[in-house]
């Protein structure tokens, strides 16, 4: 009986650990560069951003979808490419960019 319990505990621990092994690197390319080096927490991952590239060296599996991309775009702006295991398609990128801040319109000139 004790060996069955030990085996069940071992399998449970292995199952929990396997989700950590599935983590991967996420890379995003931005439309506009960020200022300096920036760290952003998005989609349960820490992204290091510089210029037009953001990289999360270790991100959970759920960081590779349009919702995760939206979380990043909300903080750093529109994204032209986003991928972990496979790149997001155009439709997913369009959904992602709905969260990006809109560019501010230039102030109208005032004539006197």
Q: Is residue 34 part of a domain?
A: yes
pLDDT at 64: 85
pLDDT reported for residue 1:
53
Contact 33/76 with Cβ under 8 angstroms?
A: no
Total of domains in the chain: 1
**In terms of residue numbers, what domain contains 30?**
21-98
Which pLDDT value is given to residue 16? 47
| Lateral strand order in the sheet of 37-42 | 37-42, 45-50, 53-59, 24-30, 79-83
Query: Mean pLDDT for each 10-residue chunk of the chain (112 residues)?
Result: 48 45 82 95 95 94 89 96 92 96 68 56
Model pLDDT, residue 50? 97
Distance CA 41, CA 56 (A): 9
Residue 11 lies inside a defined structural domain of this protein: no
Q: Is residue 104 part of a domain?
A: no
DSSP, residue by residue, 38-74 = EEEEETTEEEEEETTEEEEEEE-GGGSSHHHHHHHHH
């Amino acid at each position: 009986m004790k060996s069955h319990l030990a085996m069940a505990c071992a399998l449970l621990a292995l199952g929990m650990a396997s989700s950590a092994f599935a983590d991967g690197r996420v890379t995003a390319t931005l439309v506009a560069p960020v200022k300096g080096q920036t760290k952003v927490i998005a989609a349960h991952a820490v992204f290091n951003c510089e210029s037009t590239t953001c990289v999360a060296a270790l991100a959970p599996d759920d960081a590779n979808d349009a919702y995760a991309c939206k979380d990043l775009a909300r903080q750093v702006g529109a994204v032209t490419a986003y991928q972990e295991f496979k790149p997001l398609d155009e439709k997913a990128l369009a959904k992602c960019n709905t969260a990006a801040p809109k560019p501010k319109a230039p102030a109208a000139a005032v004539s006197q």
